[in-house]
Amino acid sequence: MLIRMVAAVAFVSTLAAPALAQWAPERPLRVVLPFVAASSYDSIMRMLAEPLGLALKQQVVVDNRAGASGIIGADIVAKAAPDGHTLALLGDNHLIFPAIGKQTPYDLFNDFAPIMRVAKLDNVVVSHFSVPARTLKELIALFKANPGKYKFGSGGTAGTTHLAGERFALMAGVNILHVPYKGGGTAVTGMLGNEVNMMIANMVVIKPHVQSGRLRAYAVAANKRSDHLPGVPSTAEAGLPGLEVPQFYALFAPARTPSRVLNRLEMALKQILTSPAFRTRVETQGADVVDSNPKELAIFLQQQLAGYRKTAQAAGIKAD
């Protein structure tokens, strides 16, 4: 599976520049978002749509097709004509489905052509301020000394925050109880009310609460610190290296989209993503631009899938 995907994107990268310039969209591009308006996916894609349209000399239309936790919108693109005029912005949900054995009408690795990971959103290990631990090592020691006493919240069973919390428990060797909520924001509200003790939540949601002192941040779940909370160490620094759970945002086309089309899209996106002005716009949302390529995206997807699958199996998380 990985070999096929990497081989395809490697072939694309060998094409000569004159061939890349041959393709131009004949009509407006449609980017399907499998999530609701005003979500982080929606915000990032709408920031990207205008400059992408200018680069391709065609309008880029953002089409929100929420439903079934992202399956409906993804399936629309998987079955679309592979001509470059229909794309999808997908994320972690679409990797979690195969990790937990959920049946979908498409296959992420066979029905899509990876274009580029355009942004990421760091997650942060946080707790209610009443938890008597000041560092990540102290937090782990506290949980180990009190198995089953403490609880972590998530935005729902088998979601990104649930798997992030279970991965933390697995890697730290602790027994903490999972409490699912109906959404990440609701889970953070529960933590603010001391219904749950800790959570691994995204930067956008928890940053203001950390800065106000209502929540304590122990580490950014990444291999380096975040400029959004520069005083908070990475998990690698704080004593739990390998706990890296960034949310990702990546553009895909339908499988069998011609390589010259994929290359033209990649060129346009790279031009935008390396722009300081665009990077600043994304950073104001609490996210970070990722300047990658199709081969790197293919490898990233397989690595993330392996991590999600290992966590799901260890925690006994299965599709309904």
Each residue's pLDDT tens digit, 80-110: 999 999 999 999 999 999 999 999 999 999 9
Closest by CA position to 244, among listed 133, 135, 163: 163
Distances (CA, A) of 238 to 60, 135, 233, 320: 42, 7, 6, 36
In angstroms, the CA 107 to CA 129 distance is 43
Q: What is the DSSP string of 63-103?
A: EE---GGGHHHHHHHHTS-SSSSEEEEE-THHHHHHHHT--
CATH of 123-238, picked from 1.10.357.10, 3.40.50.2300, 3.40.190.10, 3.40.50.10320, is: 3.40.190.10
Residue-wise pLDDT tens digits, 225-274: 999 999 999 999 999 999 999 999 999 999 999 999 999 999 999 999 99
Q: Is pLDDT above 90 for 298?
A: yes
In angstroms, the CA 20 to CA 24 distance is 9
The one-character DSSP state at 211 is H
Domain ranges of the chain: 2-120+246-315, 123-238
Output the pLDDT for position 197. 97
Architecture of domain 2-120+246-315: 3-Layer(aba) Sandwich (3.40)
Q: Is pLDDT above 70 for 276?
A: yes
Q: What is the mean pLDDT of residues 113-118?
A: 97
Q: Is pLDDT above 50 for 18?
A: no
**Average pLDDT across the chain, whole number:** 92
Sign of the CA dihedral running 300, 281, 89, 22: negative
Q: What is the mean pLDDT of residues 14-35?
A: 76
In angstroms, the CA 54 to CA 212 distance is 40
Contact at 8 Å (CB) between 156 and 162? Answer: yes
Task: State the pLDDT confidence band at 40, using cuts at 50, 70 and 90.
Answer: confident
Beta bridge partners of 114: 252
pTM of the model: 0.87
In angstroms, the CA 131 to CA 150 distance is 9
